[in-house]
Amino acid sequence: MHEAFASPPARSVHSRSELTSRSTAAGALALLLLVGCAGWKGNTYYAHRAPAKRARKEATYRFGDPGAAWQPVRNLDDVQVAWVRSDLGGLIELHAQCQGQGDSSLDQYTDHIRIDWTDWEVESQEQTRLVDRAALRTVATGRLDGVLRRNELWVVKKNGCLFDLRYSANPAHFEAGQPDFAQVVAGFRFPVRG
């Protein structure tokens, strides 16, 4: 028989519930693919792609590893990347914000970070470079909830995003953790495709 006169292929008949189940599964898979890659994995923080409000505020970036003595802190609200080291009373935290931060100076952003601190005293502050942009590195002591801490902060803006990289520790142990934080900063990369 000539192909032009052949019967059309048999159509598969599915119930409405089967189609609904398939479309629901496909939608869930699509959402998983969008959200599944988000968050902190290895030495990279992957920006969320959904919901849209959150996606516009985040960036994908890389960073160095502080070493095995630092324990990752995960699944906390408003914490993208963080490690703690109990023997130093130390914390390293990285954060990016790509919307709603305004156009303040690096000094003003640094000042905003210390908003919850008291007795804040800047020991040193220097203009430097990070990811081929101007950056501000600050070392300061201050009290958070009455507890004295020593801090190193890096603040940089690039491509509409504001990044702050922070190290905080008990002042007596601060210098012991600084090389670890330096590794995190040295490995910082943005933009990252991913």
Q: Edge-to-edge, what's the strand order for the sheet holding 71-72?
A: 71-72, 81-85, 90-97, 161-169, 147-158, 133-144, 118-130
> What mean pLDDT comes out for the span 92-112?
89
DSSP class of residue 178 equals H
> What mean pLDDT comes out for the span 95-105?
85
Q: Hey, where are the domains in the chain?
A: 35-186
Complete DSSP assignment for 156-175: EEETTEEEEEEEEE-TTTHH
pLDDT (tens digit per residue) in 139-161: 999 999 999 999 999 999 999 99
Q: What confidence score (pLDDT) does residue 194 get?
A: 59
Fold of the CATH domain 35-186? Protein Transport Mog1p; Chain A (3.40.1000)
pLDDT (tens digit per residue) in 3-58: 444 444 444 444 444 433 433 333 333 333 333 457 899 999 998 887 777 777 88
CA distance 182 to 79: 20
